[in-house]
Amino acid sequence: MSLTRRQKWRIEKIQSERIARTQRASKTNHDLLQSADSERSGLVITRYGQRLLVESESGELFQCTGRQNIELSVAGDQVIFQPISNQDGIVTALVSRDNELKRSQKTIAANVDQLWLVVAIEPHYQFDLIDRYLVVAENAGLPINIIVNKVELCSDMAVLSRDFSVYKSIGYDVINLSVKEKTNLPKLRSMLDDKTHIFLGQSGVGKSSLINELMPELNLRVNEISIKSKMGKHTTTNTTLYHIPSGGDLIDSPGIREFQLDDMGDEEILNGFREFKPYIGSCKFRNCAHINEPDCAIKEALLSGEISQKRYQNYLSLIN
């Protein structure tokens, strides 16, 4: 029987506490810590610069700084910390992560179970961006679903449905919804189960608006998109974890300006296209790049329509 995350966490917590104790013993400057309470475990809610907001197991919040020898933690991290007052503390150990979500070499969040890519009618969804997110999710081994928000602005639902049919056919859930008109929210709510979820996507698509709709008491800051460019204004600046009252957690993240896969090799990019997988390894040449080579299984699947042109073109544009 495999261990649940909670059990694993307990085991790792004990180990981390030991590590932390040894580290503390070898520290010269422990005046501060001598006056401190004993160690506690906590969950990182958000990080701003070098500071962390950590929630103790009993739900109290502490502003923490991290020890220099510890890797910087992010929302979703489990840490060991020492309170130095009833609202400040020092993080002494980072519990090893189940997984981490990275974007251009920066860790955004840790210990996430389910990704949600939020796109919208305005700013209009872009397939290359969608495919980049899917590649990241596939490589992180994390499930991802797509939310299409602001559907009340859509002038042709048939086009919308056609645009996303390829994603549905390869096994991603696609939910059309409107925060404004409260369309399809119960369906989303029922899918936000007792796990850690994260909303990702461009600025202005309505990630924070959606979280406000699900948890009105939060009253997160949202901002109109630019009338001229139809782009978001980068309103959310910190990746932050919120507890869903019915269970589970939901992380809001800031929309990004640039999203490149520079740190990914061609093989990882190929593996990021899940419908290509059955054909990988069946080409005539072992080092087939699936571009112009003869007897290429991927190109054959493309010709027979099993792989979509749009997805294949995006694959070509992403490989180096």
Ligand X SMILES: Nc1nc2c(ncn2[C@@H]2O[C@H](COP(=O)(O)OP(=O)(O)OP(=O)(O)O)[C@@H](O)[C@H]2O)c(=O)[nH]1
- The residue (of 240 and 308) whose beta carbon lies closer to Mg ion is 240
- The residue (of 185 and 280) whose beta carbon lies closer to ligand X is 185
Rounded Cα distance between 112 and 197, Å, is 6
Rounded Cα distance between 77 and 198, Å, is 13
- Least separation in angstroms between residue 313's CB and Zn ion is 15
Of residues 174, 144, 172, 179, the one with CA closest to residue 157: 174
Q: Which stretch binds Zn ion (CB under 5 A): 17-25, 204-212, 226-234, 295-303?
A: 295-303
- The residue (of 27 and 233) whose beta carbon lies closer to ligand X is 233
Q: SS3 of 167, please?
A: helix
- The residue (of 62 and 315) whose beta carbon lies closer to Zn ion is 315
Chain positions 234 to 293 lying near Mg ion, rule: CB under 5 A, are 235-236
314 contributes a contact to Mg ion by CB under 5 A: no
153 contributes a contact to ligand X by CB under 6 A: yes
Which segments of the chain are extended strands (E)? Answer: 40-48, 51-56, 61-66, 78-83, 88-94, 100-103, 106-110, 114-120, 144-149, 174-176, 196-200, 240-243, 249-252
Q: Which residues of 205-233 are buried (b: 16+ CB within 10 A; e: fewer)?
A: bbbbbbbbbbbeeeebebeebeeeeeebe
- Strand bridging mode 114-120 / 51-56: unpaired
Q: How far is CA 224 from CA 125, 166, 206, 208, 292, in A?
A: 17, 30, 9, 12, 46
- The residue (of 117 and 296) whose beta carbon lies closer to Zn ion is 296
Output the six-digit token pair for 126.
């872009």
CB-neighbour burial class of residue 294 (10 A; exposed 0-12, middle 13-18, buried 19+): exposed
232 contributes a contact to ligand X by CB under 6 A: yes
288 contributes a contact to Zn ion by CB under 5 A: yes
Chain positions 82 to 141 lying near ligand X, rule: CB under 6 A, are none
Q: Which stretch binds ligand X (CB under 6 A): 30-38, 148-156, 159-167, 270-278?
A: 148-156
* Cβ atoms 85, 112 nearer than 8 A: no
Number of residues in contact with ligand X under rule CB under 6 A: 25
- The residue (of 33 and 188) whose beta carbon lies closer to ligand X is 188
Among 16, 203, 239, 308, binds ligand X (CB under 6 A): 203
Output the six-digit token pair for 130.
């969608």
Query: Would you give the binding string for Mg ion spanning residues 200-239, x where CB under 5 A is met?
Result: -------xx--------------------------xx---
* Cβ atoms 298, 289 nearer than 8 A: no
Output the six-digit token pair for 117.
């890519």
- The residue (of 8 and 234) whose beta carbon lies closer to ligand X is 234
Rounded Cα distance between 81 and 7, Å, is 19
185 contributes a contact to ligand X by CB under 6 A: no
Pick what 234 binds: Mg ion, Zn ion, ligand X, none; C-beta below 5 to 8 Å, kind-dependent: ligand X
Number of residues in contact with Zn ion under rule CB under 5 A: 5
Binding site for ligand X (CB under 6 A): 149-150, 152-153, 178-180, 203-209, 222-225, 232-236, 254-255
Binding site for Zn ion (CB under 5 A): 283, 288, 290, 296, 298
Binding site for Mg ion (CB under 5 A): 207-208, 235-236
